[in-house]
Structure formats: structure tokens, C-alpha cells
Structure 1
Amino acid sequence: MPDERPFSQEGERPVCGICPSLRLPGGRFDVHERPTSACPFDASTGHRFTAAGVPVCVHPERVGLPAAPYATEGLPLPWEVPPPADPAEVPVWVRAALTAAPPDACDEVIERAMDILRASDPGLDVVAMLRAALN
């Protein structure tokens, strides 16, 4: 994913018009569960910020990212988290990673999952496993 591409582009996700995901790449803003005093609305800019000035999205279900202090703590985005070594845990990781990933990162997530699954059991029906994870 290009480093400077906004996380969300028009029509990709049902985000608010003031969402930081429309102007910043993933990882450059935090996501909170809901509006709180920890991220007040700044009427002068029309955006929400933490006390440290980090932009905040308050609709994780719209932006597609679990609530987390990505920018504040430098946390990896869900599809950047290394996949689990245990093949039984890969389907949960795949679902979480693909739900959050922008379209241009999805191929990489699927390839990583397929590599892990193939390495764990060469006879495993990888496509069936991925279908089950995404149903």
C-alpha cells in the first residue's frame, strides 16, 4: 500500500465526511469505540483529536478498523500483524485482516495465509479453509 494513500477513498467505506481516514493513511490516526472526552471535537478544524493532537476516528465499524491507538502507540494495522503460526488460528486472522485491509493489501493477506496453511499440511484444501474463514 502506498504510504501516503488515504486509508479510505470515496465510496470504499461508509465513513463520515470528517473522518481522518479520508485524508490520512492507516496508522496515522487512532480509532476509538465512540466519541469521548478523550477525543473532543475541535470546531475550528471540524475534526476530533487526542490531547496530543492525534486525529481520531470514532466509528470503528465504518472505517473497518478495530478501536486502537494506532498512531499514538505506533501499533501495526490488522493486516500488518504477523499471521499466527498455528494453522487453526489462521482463519480468524484472515477474517480480521481482510475486514480492515484496503483493497490493495488483500492479495498479500491471502498469500500469507495460503503459505502458512500449505506449510502446515501440504494435503490441506487451502481454498476450502479460506472460504470457511470468510463465510
Structure 2
Amino acid sequence: MTSDMDHPWDEDALCAVCPGQVHDPGRFDIVDGPGPASRYDTTAGYRRDLVSGVPVCIHPDKIGFPAGRYASAGQLWPAEVEPAPHPGPMPDDPDALAGWMTALVRHADADAVAGVLAAAEQSAVQRFSPDLVVDALRAALAEV
């Protein structure tokens, strides 16, 4: 999976359902393997902590960072990594729309993705053709 975002891990080494595929460092927890405290959430496409709802990666060895409660308890990320910058305003270039929507999804908190995409869609349909907007939404939703 390619991205406009720079993550401190190799996305190709991650599980297809790892929250690291769609979230920035510090926006999910990492635990040592699957367990009863988290379950796969079919609507989100990754595991979530049963109590907090925070996305959970279960393979510290694949993501390359130690287990930690980075999102749920505010534990500091072990590397000096800045969160990705906000994607900024909607592009004028139609070829950049899908990348912009995808970046919005990756930057958003897990619970805000639907609202972020709805707002992006409302703005985009005023500037771009409906077919282009639908294609951009599909690309962004593939990240969720």
C-alpha cells in the first residue's frame, strides 16, 4: 500500500488489518499479541481495545516498536516522530483529490473518519464531478 504519509515503519511488513496502515504514530496502542482485551472490529478493519475502543496493533515485531499504551494512556511514542501534518485544503488538481481524501482519513481519529469524509465529500462535489468524488471516496475508504 502506498501513501503520501511518512510512517516510521514499513507498511508492507504490517498485517493488512494493522491500525498502523491507517493511523499515525501515537494514535493506536501496541500490545504483545492477541488477547481477551481486544477484538477485531469488522467495521473499523482492525482490532480495538474492548474498554477504550482505541485501535490496537498486536505485532510489535512487525511494526518495529515496543508494546505501549500510546493512544489510550498517552504514553510517549518511543521515537522522535512528529505526527503527519494535516493534509491542508482541498486541492484544485482533480488527480490529487483521492490522495487528499486518503490523507484526511489517515490523519483523523478513528471515531471521526465518517464525519471527516462526509465533510470532504460535501466540499468536493461543489468543485469536481460526482464520478471523480466517488472514486476519491473509494480510495480513501480503502484505508479505513
Normalization by structure 1: what TM-score?
0.50
Normalization by structure 2: what TM-score?
0.47
Structure ID, larger Rg: 1
- The structure in which a higher percent of residues are helix is 1
